[in-house]
Amino acid sequence: MENVTTVAHPLVQHKLTLMRDKTTSTKGFRQLLREIATLLCYEVTRDLSLAPIQIETPLMPMQAQVLAGKKLVFAPILRAGMGLIEGMLDLVPSARIAHVGLYRDPDSLTAVEYYFKAPSDLSERLVIVVDPMLATGNTAVAAVERLKEHGASELRYVCLLATPVGLANLHSHHPEVRVWTAAIDEHLNDHGYILPGLGDAGDRLYGTR
Ligand code: URA
């Protein structure tokens, strides 16, 4: 699928299976999501540009590489997206956070915004939108739209599970946004849940329901 990277790393696949298992506890689910987030962050940042700087090791001067491109913003879609943030910040502790509060109307499955707060310099940053579940894609489309309205021009999307229909929806509205996911599940049920999926990510993360 165009612009989609499925992260096949064995650690990602193993942890995802544990997360899918309904007997995994809230504590376990939360910890696994954090760990997978770190691995997905490693993949989504794989092609960031580097530039040489001059430093001195304890033994001699050398030219070494540092990150050189745009600074990062992580944009979690509330609330389940927050479950990925700590794991990503473990790798990029200086990243800024844009909180995007959207929920899915249970009847229409459309995205309804209830909160938005982002750094003012989004146009100068690479914005990585994060949400565990890319189901219908409506929430993803709305989140990217809002971030673009606030100046974001370079965006990527990280999720745990995606569906072909959700990816197609996101791609049709925002074709330039590349997606990293741990897996693509084929189906959605009538309530917009991914099958086989892992259930409601927010409920499993926060022990609600
Ligand atoms: N959101 C979830 O939490 N789970 C799904 O399966 C789909 C959307």
Give the per-residue pLDDT at 201. Answer: 97
Mean pLDDT, the chain, whole residue set: 96
Give the per-residue pLDDT at 152. Answer: 97
Give the per-residue pLDDT at 107. Answer: 84
3-state SS record for the chain = CCCEEECCCHHHHHHHHHHHCCCCCHHHHHHHHHHHHHHHHHHHCCCCCEEEEEEECCCCEEEEEEECCCEEEEEEEECCCHHHHHHHHHHCCCCEECEEEEEECCCCCCEEEEEEECCCCHHHEEEEEECCEECCCHHHHHHHHHHHHCCCCEEEEEEEEECHHHHHHHHHHCCCCEEEEEEECCEECCCCCEECCCCCHHHHHHCCC
* Residue range 22-29: mean pLDDT, rounded: 98
Give the per-residue pLDDT at 55. Answer: 98
* Residue range 120-128: mean pLDDT, rounded: 96
Q: Are residues 169 and 110 in contact, defined by beta-carbon separation less than 8 angstroms?
A: no
Residues with a CB atom less than 6 Å from ligand 1? 80, 133, 135, 192-194, 197, 200-202
C-alpha–C-alpha distance, residues 203 and 11, integer Å: 24
Q: With bands split at pLDDT 50, 70 and 90, how would you rate the model's confidence at 208?
A: very high
Domain containing 141 equals 4-206
Kindly report, residue by residue over 58-110, the tens digit of the pLDDT: 999 999 999 998 899 999 999 999 999 999 999 999 999 999 998 878 888 78
Q: With bands split at pLDDT 50, 70 and 90, how would you rate the model's confidence at 187?
A: very high
Give the per-residue pLDDT at 209. Answer: 82
User: Domain holding 89: CATH number?
Assistant: 3.40.50.2020
Q: With bands split at pLDDT 50, 70 and 90, how would you rate the model's confidence at 1?
A: confident
Kindly report, residue by residue over 27-59, the tens digit of the pLDDT: 999 999 999 999 999 999 999 999 999 999 999
> What is the number of the ligand 1 atom nearest to the C-alpha of 200?
3
Structurally, the chain folds into a number of domains equal to: 1
Its pTM stands at 0.94
The candidate with the shortest Cα–Cα distance to 163, out of 192, 197, 186, is 186
> What is the number of the ligand 1 atom nearest to the C-alpha of 193?
6
Cα–ligand 1 centroid distance for 30 (angstroms):
15
